[in-house]
Amino acid sequence: MSWYPLGRVVGGTVFPGIMLTAGSLYFFLKKIVRITVNIKHVCVFMGPFFASNASLITYLFTKEVSKDYGAGLISAVMIAIVPGYISRSVAGSFDNECIAIFALILTYYLWLKAVNTGSMFYAASCALAYLYMVSSWGGYVFIMNLIPLHAFVLILVGRYSRRLYVSYTTLYILGTLLSMQVPFVGFQAVQSSEHLAGMGIFGLIQLVAAVKYVKSILGEKYFKLFLKILGFIAVSILVLFVAVGLATGYIAPWTGRFLSLLDPTYAKKYIPIIASVSEHQPTAWSSYFFDLQSLVFLYPVGLYYCFKNPSDSKIFLILYAVTSTYFTGVMVRLMLVLAPICVILGSMALSNMFKLFAYKIREFDEEDKKKKKAQSKKPTNQKKKKKTEQNKIFNLGYIAATLMIALLTALFISYIFHSIWVTSEAYSSPSIVLAAKGYDGNRIIFDDFREAYYWLRQNTAPDAKIMSWWDYGYQITAMANRTVLVDNNTWNNTHIGTVGKAMVKTENISAQVMEQHDVDYVLVLFGGLIGYSSDDINKYLWLVRIGGTVDPSIKEEDYLNSRKEFRVDSQGAPSFLNSMMYKLCFYRFWEVKTEGNKPSGYDRVRNTVMGNQNYELEAVEEAFTSEHWIVRIYKVLKKENRK
């Protein structure tokens, strides 16, 4: 069980898409195809399976937009290995994003097909794909705002047509009705501010269609009067609607996660729990090259080609590109949404450049043949040198064109090498078993996590409750099979704040909080012995900030010393050196010699000697410390019956 003692309604707080997909794949394989597989294998390999489906859909998408088979093929190859997408779809990564990106590209492909052909069939299929997307990932809000934005921009630019009207109306009605079937979304689809754009553009497009119809019936003079009256009524109704909706609170304002995308500094000030996740950090320049390599150069070139010959679908690509680049700048996790559009635009650019040089070579061949024919027929020499400078297209030499094709191929090959290196070094390591290179080059394995979780599984009562920081909740629930207080699904921020408060206050207050929540064991991570830098002491300030949202007496400056530094040695802040987390992490560490020339109790992550030594624990007693002191488990002592 998780979120003790509150529990959670799993049906109403979880996106069911990925579970349903895994279940139906398993059912299909077992009952229809009659191959015996373990459900675990189905889940492990779902990431790569849907990534390959995404590759196929990207081929169709690029071919639809650019009408160029070559660009489609290049885009299929590139999205198969682009590191930004591979990082979330490796085998073993069973998360919402596995199927979400496939559903995203499928929805956009069907939308562009609908806009280009004006057929209700494609619009209805787009609504079904949108339902699949809504059931998989919270990022469906991106679709529900990008498609209305596209419709709006097409109206603005003057590309309104009957096809747009048919596709958008069908998609909006069917899509909203279908998305309300997912229990997590429910009536939010018509109430929350994140979905208002779709509704607004729906009203606007009805208005535009009605005005165009009336214009075709009325004469010029009466049409102007009609327009004035209609405009006045429409604006006043809209203002009334929005004002009443906002005033009565029926329309909910933007929720925290999405507001932090529009105002990046919002999360840092008000919602530290969202700001603390390392995936939610903003992106630095090098992450773009690391995740996209050549595409970061080819992407503006693809945009250039879209601006050069605009069409309905290319305007959509431009909007998708600009909005997703901005969102990627805010959160590095959203590089996943930028990767497909970068691949599509980059492959269009690469294909166009290949074509330029290939045509030059073909022209040379044809000119050569013409010259040979002309020379064989007429031996007379009639060379007229024209010295006047005419405007003509730069005539690239045969050798130069071949060289350029070779260079572009080399660029493509370097992309492949880079992607393979990045995947193998950065995105393929399991995070539950750590490995490091020893002094003589051989590999040392740190298996402390599994050791500690199996100790919990085998040596504690089955109904024991574990308090730890929320990063380890899922692992404890799955491997140790015990109830936890908070886990990785961050939807009850006050409960997480209470756990943070219990960790950063002194032992007495912490013991009270633990007794209120019926905690039996406390689990902390400590990396000082081996130099593991993702331990709980490095996350300490986040615990302070999140605990501060629940208890206003917890302030960050209390835990920094007089020079505003976060120190672990004797120069650290006294409230930090006496806090529960410090005492739990560093208990008996003063007896350990970590490096030869340093005193005992030397912390190899912070590179200082520990400050507060030789203390006793009163509320807890040490139950288990793993081999390399990474995971430490303490048993909470029950108070005596009588004093």
Partner 1 sequence: MSKKLNFLESSFCKAFRPPQLNLRIIKPSSMAVFAFVLFALFIVFAGVIYDLIVEPPSIGVEYGFGNERPVTILKGRLNSQYIFEGIDGALFYLLGSIGLILIDQALTKERREKYGKIMFYTGVGLFACSFIIIIFFIKLKVPGYLKR
Quick one: which H or E segment has residue 621? strand 620-625
Q: Under a CB-based contact definition with an 8 Å cutoff, are residues 75 and 344 in contact?
A: yes
Over its C-alpha atoms, the chain yields an Rg (Å, rounded) of 31
CB nearer to partner 1: pick between 425 and 640: 425
Quick one: which H or E segment has residue 55? helix 46-66
Q: Under a CB-based contact definition with an 8 Å cutoff, are residues 127 and 174 in contact?
A: yes
Q: Under a CB-based contact definition with an 8 Å cutoff, are residues 611 and 619 in contact?
A: no
Q: What's the token pair of residue 78? A: 């590139």
- CA end-to-end distance (rounded Å), the chain: 34
CB nearer to partner 1: pick between 407 and 592: 407
CB nearer to partner 1: pick between 19 and 218: 218
Residue 277 Cβ, how far from partner 1 at the closest point, in Å? 13
CB nearer to partner 1: pick between 326 and 566: 326
In 494-595 the beta strands, taken as DSSP E runs, fall at 521-525
Residue 296 Cβ, how far from partner 1 at the closest point, in Å? 5
CB nearer to partner 1: pick between 309 and 641: 309
CB nearer to partner 1: pick between 225 and 436: 225
Residue 18 Cβ, how far from partner 1 at the closest point, in Å? 27
Residue 264 Cβ, how far from partner 1 at the closest point, in Å? 5
Question: Which of 334, 333, 340 minimizes the C-alpha distance to 316?
Answer: 340
Residue 286 Cβ, how far from partner 1 at the closest point, in Å? 5
Query: What is the rounded CA–CA span in Å between residue 130 and residue 52?
Result: 20
Query: What is the rounded CA–CA span in Å between residue 517 and residue 5?
Result: 7
Residue 239 Cβ, how far from partner 1 at the closest point, in Å? 15
Query: Is cis: bond before 5, omega within 30 of 0?
Result: yes
Query: What is the rounded CA–CA span in Å between residue 88 and residue 521?
Result: 33
Where does this chain bind partner 1 (CB under 8 A)? Answer: 222, 225, 228-229, 232, 264-265, 268, 281-290, 294, 296-301, 303-304, 307-308, 310, 318, 322, 325-326, 328-330, 332, 349, 352-353, 356, 360, 389, 391-396, 404, 407, 411, 417-418, 421, 425
Residue 1 Cβ, how far from partner 1 at the closest point, in Å? 35
Q: What's the token pair of residue 607? A: 């590179």
CB nearer to partner 1: pick between 395 and 508: 395
CB nearer to partner 1: pick between 288 and 526: 288
Beta-carbon count within 10 A of 240 CB: 10
C-alpha torsion angle, residues 124, 126, 131, 133 (rounded to 10)? 180
Beta-carbon count within 10 A of 66 CB: 26
Query: What is the rounded CA–CA span in Å between residue 435 and residue 641?
Result: 47
Give the SS3 label for residue 590. helix
CB nearer to partner 1: pick between 392 and 563: 392
Residue 325 Cβ, how far from partner 1 at the closest point, in Å? 5
Residue 297 Cβ, how far from partner 1 at the closest point, in Å? 4
